[in-house]
Amino acid sequence: MKMKLPLALRFLIALCLWFPTAADHEGRSARSSILFYTVGRSNYEFDIFTLPTQFDDSTPNSAKEFQITDGRSVNYNGHFPAISPSSPSILLDQILTTNPASRPPIHLIYVSERNGSSTIYLDAVFHGGGPDRGRRRSTLEVSNRVQVPLVGNQQSHGRISMKDRPSLVGDHLVYVSTQEKSGVPRTSWAAVYSTHLRTGLTQRLTPQGVTDLSPAVSPSGTWTAVASYGEGRWSGEVEELKTDIFIFRTKDGSGRVKVVEHGGWPSWVDESTLYFHRESDDGWWSVYRAILPKSCRISVDSVVTQRVTPPGLHAFTPATSAANRTFIAVATRRPDSAYRHIELFNVVSKQFWEVTRNVSPKANHFNPFVSPDFTRVGYHKCRGLSNGMKDNHLSLENIHTPLKDVSVFRIDGSFPSFSPAGDRIAFVSFLQGIYVMNLDGSGLRQVYSGSVFATAWDPIRKGVIYTSAGPSFSSVSTEVDVISVSIDDDELTYKKLTEGGENNAFPSPSPDGKWVVFRSSRSGYKNLYIMDAVNGEKAGLFRLTEGPWDDTMANWSPDGDWIAFSSDRENPGSGSFALYMVHPNGTALKKVFESEPGGRVNHPWFSPDGKSMVFTSDYAAVSAEPICNPHHFQPYGEIFTMRLDGSGLRRLTHNSYEDGTPTWGPAFMRRVDVQRPVDEQCKFEDSPWLRAVENSVTVKARCGGQ
Ligand SMILES: *[C@@H]1O[C@H](CO)[C@@H](O)[C@H](O)[C@H]1NC(C)=O
Ligand SMILES: *[C@@H]1O[C@H](CO)[C@@H](O)[C@H](O)[C@H]1NC(C)=O
Ligand SMILES: CC(=O)N[C@H]1CO[C@H](CO)[C@@H](O)[C@@H]1O
């Protein structure tokens, strides 16, 4: 059903629609496509749900749970805006007056990754009975919805960015964005911005050169608290970031002061009380309270902090409201559960009330938020296959980037590569084995079923794919072999090219199809070798690099003159990798790019015109607290391109996930998402480092209402 929106609102919607950004001025390159993999992302399918905080006489149950967001894309990190005379919002008023018959029982601000980049939306959900009466539980039963994109790329001056953790103060939206370069390698681009929704005017609240994550606005709107590297740098940490909490004026970022040493995910109760989380000295993640002095001279020493949740379970990402000073909402990981759940915690009696375990025991629930009156708790989790909803699992998701002649897709499989004609894609399935499909996702078939990693097509012999068969991330003594798979004959055939006994991997053929470069541990170190492409190493083998370090992930340039690879030769065994190039005859070795000493640059791949490379790197550090997301081994992984001389660095992806194994192929793929039916959804891991601390007592929950 269509609704008539007031003019101002329609203007706002028009303003926020995504449109193409400034053209790539760096000369016309041939039109082409980049594919990359994001760990787990295609399984997230997050929607935002809510449950009442009061259960009367019964425990929380699924009849009371309401799915607020619409089941499209990935929706997360919600916020229930306050509507009160003290914080008037033109925007909310307009939405309310569009449907004078019924005040929306629920309005929600959240992050959505629909339309190829992250955007902050406002949904107002109108319906007759209302979830409070327990009759309408899903968005499918909702008769009417107003959905407004609040900030997209327009508010970031056309720059693509990750948007996160929104909250509304009057007509100002406060959120994290990665729209401006940090300018320093291995430093996050995440900073807090405020956008005036009526004018679109956007101002940065975080000082230049500083990283701010997880902003929370105080009930009056005066103060914003953040988890920040205000005085330090990201250390490469991927579990507990050890940020500090700073506060500043929401109006203009002034009055910035550190209030807590070591803390994240702040949440205000009133203008001088906030809750936050940190990993405690005893190993348990716990929620803490900080009381700020009433005076204007605030410093870390004048703030009183106290641990609130007990050892025996992990409790983190607190959510609070001024309307209820006794209860807070938290996410927990109990030692007897592999799942993350939302619980209420009574800070006076120190008792937990389990909320979501009664509703969906075997699902992860993230980042609770509460309504201003504390009658509802919201969170995100997978929508699952329930509700008879059409499943929209994406095998190829189009991503908006600043590149004009290059279309970029996230593929639901690792190590993708294009056939030489650019009409087919090979990739490694997370279930194991190699699959091949057409660019529109059709013709999907498995062509190898064993455990493999890396794929590359022979440029001359049709339907020949090289791969490494064996376990990835394994030691020098593990047996891994480079094999070729012929997929266009009547029968699939395989040929082992290396002789075995060592770790041989990451094959990449020369453009004439005669040679294959690969890395091998046959000397005791992983160095690069070149062998005969058709008959393998017994028909010809040449050692390209030599030294007590790792050279790996080689890619042969389209003109045949260069081999790009990743190496830790400056700091062997440190986990730090930089990008190098060498001629196939072993001359002219040079370092092309490093993120910074200690950083990572991996999986280089030449563009089809041979002028640029795509790779994954930690150059932009992490963009969100890792504990607020599903597990990512390397949450800093983002996709970049660069010219061969090391100039023209461009960041293509903006998110808090692990993006990796990019490839660059000759086809320009249509900019549409490609869907695929799947049987299994929502198979991802919660942070495995949230394990039980040994020799501890388990904290019992008091079940809601019992
Ligand atoms: C605080 O929340 C709890 C849990 O919903 C509820 O039982 C209690 O009555 C609330 N207290 C106030 C003052 O609203
Ligand atoms: C090595 O190869 C490069 C290009 O592939 C060539 O320019 C150079 O002359 C070669 N050097 C030797 C010593 O063969
Ligand atoms: C502005 C824009 O492109 N909006 C599209 C976002 O994606 C949804 C589907 O998820 C489309 O319906 C919108 O048209």
Q: Dump pLDDT digits (tens) for 26-42.
A: 444 579 999 999 998 98
Note the pLDDT of residue 176: 98
3 state SS of 139 = helix
Contacts of 539 (CB under 8 A, 6+ apart): 531, 532
- Across 149-161, average pLDDT: 82
Q: If you measure from the C-alpha of residue 115 to the centroid of ligand 3, how many angstroms do you get, rounded to a whole number?
A: 6
3 state SS of 509 = strand
Q: Distance of alpha carbon 78 from its chain centroid, rounded?
A: 16
- Give the integer Cα–Cα distance in Å for 81 and 430: 39
3 state SS of 28 = coil
- Bridge partner residues of 453 (DSSP): 468
Assigned token pair, 171:
């007509």
Instruction: Centre a 10 Å sphere on the Cβ of residue 512 and count the other Cβ atoms it contains.
Output: 10
Instruction: Centre a 10 Å sphere on the Cβ of residue 606 and count the other Cβ atoms it contains.
Output: 23
Given a cut of 90, is residue 124 above it in pLDDT? no
Q: Is the CB of 72 under 6 A from ligand 3?
A: yes
Task: Please report the atom of ligand 3 found closest to the CA of residue 149.
Answer: 1
Helices and strands in the chain, H and E counts: 2, 50
Residues at CB less than 6 angstroms from ligand 2:
561, 583-585, 587
- Give the integer Cα–Cα distance in Å for 459 and 441: 22
Note the pLDDT of residue 4: 42
3 state SS of 115 = helix
Question: Sign of the CA dihedral 195, 21, 614, 435?
Answer: positive
Lowest mean pLDDT among 28-42, 448-462, 621-635, 691-705: 691-705
Residue nearest ligand 1's atom 12 by CA: 324
Residue nearest ligand 1's atom 7 by CA: 54
Q: If you measure from the C-alpha of residue 17 to the centroid of ligand 3, how many angstroms do you get, rounded to a whole number?
A: 9
Query: Relative to the alpha carbon of 582, which ligand is closest?
Result: 2
Task: Please report the atom of ligand 1 found closest to the CA of residue 52.
Answer: 5
As a whole number of Å, the end-to-end CA separation of the chain is 42
Q: If you measure from the C-alpha of residue 686 to the centroid of ligand 1, how many angstroms do you get, rounded to a whole number?
A: 30
Full-model pTM: 0.92
Residue nearest ligand 1's atom 3 by CA: 327
Note the pLDDT of residue 63: 79
Of the candidates 664, 687, 217, which has an alpha carbon nearest to the alpha carbon of residue 407? 664
Q: If you measure from the C-alpha of residue 114 to the centroid of ligand 3, how many angstroms do you get, rounded to a whole number?
A: 7
Choose the residue to mutate in 50, 51, 53 for probing ligand 1, maximizing ligand atoms within 8 Å of C-beta. Answer: 53
Lowest mean pLDDT among 74-83, 389-398, 493-502, 584-593: 389-398
Note the pLDDT of residue 25: 37
Query: Relative to the alpha carbon of 511, which ligand is closest?
Result: 2
Task: Please report the atom of ligand 2 found closest to the CA of residue 587.
Answer: 1
Choose the residue to mutate in 582, 583, 589 for probing ligand 2, maximizing ligand atoms within 8 Å of C-beta. Answer: 583
- Across 309-317, average pLDDT: 97
Q: Are 588 and 602 in contact (CB under 8 A)?
A: no
Query: Relative to the alpha carbon of 560, which ligand is closest?
Result: 2
Assigned token pair, 392:
């929209």
Full 3-state SS string of 468-496: EECCCCCCCCCCEEEEEEECCCCCCEEEE
In the chain, % of residues over pLDDT 70: 87
Task: Please report the atom of ligand 3 found closest to the CA of residue 17.
Answer: 1
Confidence band (pLDDT; 50, 70, 90) for 10? very low
Note the pLDDT of residue 131: 46
Q: Is the CB of 17 under 6 A from ligand 3?
A: yes
Residue nearest ligand 3's atom 3 by CA: 115
- Bridge partner residues of 247 (DSSP): 225, 257
CA dihedral in degrees (96, 99, 103, 107; nearest 10)? Answer: -60
Confidence band (pLDDT; 50, 70, 90) for 9? very low
Query: Relative to the alpha carbon of 321, which ligand is closest?
Result: 1
3 state SS of 224 = strand
Query: Relative to the alpha carbon of 371, which ligand is closest?
Result: 1
Residues at CB less than 6 angstroms from ligand 1:
53-54, 324, 326-327, 344, 374
Q: If you measure from the C-alpha of residue 518 to the centroid of ligand 1, how many angstroms do you get, rounded to a whole number?
A: 63
Confidence band (pLDDT; 50, 70, 90) for 170? confident
- Give the integer Cα–Cα distance in Å for 90 and 501: 70
Task: Please report the atom of ligand 2 found closest to the CA of residue 560.
Answer: 5
Give the total residue count for the chain: 706
3 state SS of 267 = strand
Note the pLDDT of residue 513: 97
3 state SS of 248 = strand
In this predicted model, which residue has the larger pLDDT, 456 or 100? 456
3 state SS of 416 = strand
Q: If you measure from the C-alpha of residue 589 to the centroid of ligand 2, how many angstroms do you get, rounded to a whole number?
A: 11
Q: If you measure from the C-alpha of residue 29 to the centroid of ligand 2, how many angstroms do you get, rounded to a whole number?
A: 26
Residue nearest ligand 2's atom 1 by CA: 585
Residue nearest ligand 3's atom 13 by CA: 115
Domains of the chain as residue ranges with CATH: 393-627+659-688 (2.120.10.30)
Task: Please report the atom of ligand 1 found closest to the CA of residue 353.
Answer: 4
Q: If you measure from the C-alpha of residue 132 to the centroid of ligand 1, how many angstroms do you get, rounded to a whole number?
A: 17
Q: If you measure from the C-alpha of residue 86 to the centroid of ligand 1, how many angstroms do you get, rounded to a whole number?
A: 23
Of the candidates 248, 245, 253, 205, which has an alpha carbon nearest to the alpha carbon of residue 229? 245
Q: Is 439 exposed, middle or buried (0-12, 13-18, 19+ CB in 10 A)?
A: buried
pLDDT by residue (tens digit) across 481-535? Answer: 999 999 999 999 999 999 866 899 999 999 999 999 999 999 999 999 999 999 9
Note the pLDDT of residue 20: 34
pLDDT by residue (tens digit) across 402-459? Answer: 888 999 999 999 999 999 999 999 999 977 899 999 999 999 999 999 999 999 999 9
How open is the CA angle 486-490-494, to the nearest 5 degrees? 30
Residue nearest ligand 2's atom 10 by CA: 585
Q: Are 395 and 440 in contact (CB under 8 A)?
A: no
- Across 211-238, average pLDDT: 93
In the chain, % of residues over pLDDT 90: 70
Task: Please report the atom of ligand 2 found closest to the CA of residue 585.
Answer: 1
Choose the residue to mutate in 581, 587, 590, 644 for probing ligand 2, maximizing ligand atoms within 8 Å of C-beta. Answer: 587
Q: If you measure from the C-alpha of residue 464 to the centroid of ligand 2, how many angstroms do you get, rounded to a whole number?
A: 28
Task: Please report the atom of ligand 3 found closest to the CA of residue 18.
Answer: 1
3 state SS of 609 = coil
Residue nearest ligand 3's atom 11 by CA: 115
